[in-house]
A = this chain, B = another copy of it.
Amino acid sequence: MRSVAIVGLGLIGGSMAVDLRRRGFADEIIGVENDQLNAEAALKMGLADRIASAEEAFAQADIIVLAVPVDAAAKLLPQALDAVAGSERIVIDVCSVKEMMCRVAAGHRARANYVATHPMAGTEYSGPWAAMPGLFDGRACIFCDVEESSRKAVSRIEELYAALNMRVTYMRSDAHDMHVAYVSHISHVTSFALALTVLDKEKDEKHIFDLASGGFSSTVRLAKSNADMWVPILQQNRDNVLRVIDTYIEKMQDFRSAIDTLDGDEIRGLIEDANKIKRIIR
């Protein structure tokens, strides 16, 4: 019997729970969930077979998944590694910043039992209510610094993500953090800023939102994302995120000055360069 402990039964942890069981990877899901309401909801929805304390779960599970915000995950990681030291049991996390997590694990006697992973899937919703089957299907999962993990642990976690239908990519944790700043973190910051811009205006212009079109909704969608998750991501990935924000603000300034001077050729050049994103995003 294979038991998987999932710490944090929110969008990611809850969705993993659903698919790991229905696809036969896990025989038992042990949920660890500090929030009482979330814990009860998760049980009621059948996301976990039982709720346990972190200590209990760390002592019992074959695989421990840390699916909490990255600051909480960084605190729990040494404790989880202490619990699995000397065994073949495995700890993974699913956070979207990896360098700090790998630094926390570095030098721990159970470092080889830890696999740093980032399943790149999600929605702008959170909590056990946001969990859904199939969330990970066809998406990319990044494994970081796998040379620090035991081969056996890595291959078992590859099986786990195979059960989630993810394609695995391998990367150094510092390269990972730089890449996700570009393809994920900046999108969240731009959406937050867009929401703040429009909400500011709305104070005196109540009906502005009657007009909100599909384009606006899709651009601002990520602004619904949860602060508990995003504050520590932006803190831990500060240097990369700041670099991307600076480039981004430069591009906005390029647009601003082209529009200000009514320079049609310049505006067209910027838009046509931006259009090249078509070859990448379907």
Residues of A within 8 A of B (CB): 120-124, 139-140, 142, 169, 179-180, 182-184, 186-202, 205, 207-227, 230-232, 234-235, 238, 241-242, 244-249, 251-256, 259-260, 262, 264, 267-268, 270-278, 280-282
Contacts and interface: CB of A to CB of B under 8 A. Distances in A.
A257 to B, nearest CB: 10
A243 to B, nearest CB: 9
Q: Which 6 A-B pairs have the closest CB atoms?
A: A193-B251, A195-B277, A192-B274, A195-B274, A187-B219, A227-B271
Contact of A218 (B183, B198, B210, B221): B221
A255 B224 contact: no
A194 B186 contact: yes
Number of copies: 2
Contact of A220 (B187, B211, B227): B187
Contacts of A223: 274-275, 277
A242 to B, nearest CB: 6
B182 A230 contact: no
B139 A192 contact: no
A245 B268 CA distance: 18
A75 to B, nearest CB: 15
Contact of A190 (B120, B219, B238, B262): B219
A259 B235 contact: yes
Contact of A197 (B227, B248, B272): B248
Given A260-B242, A274-B196, A218 B218 contact: yes
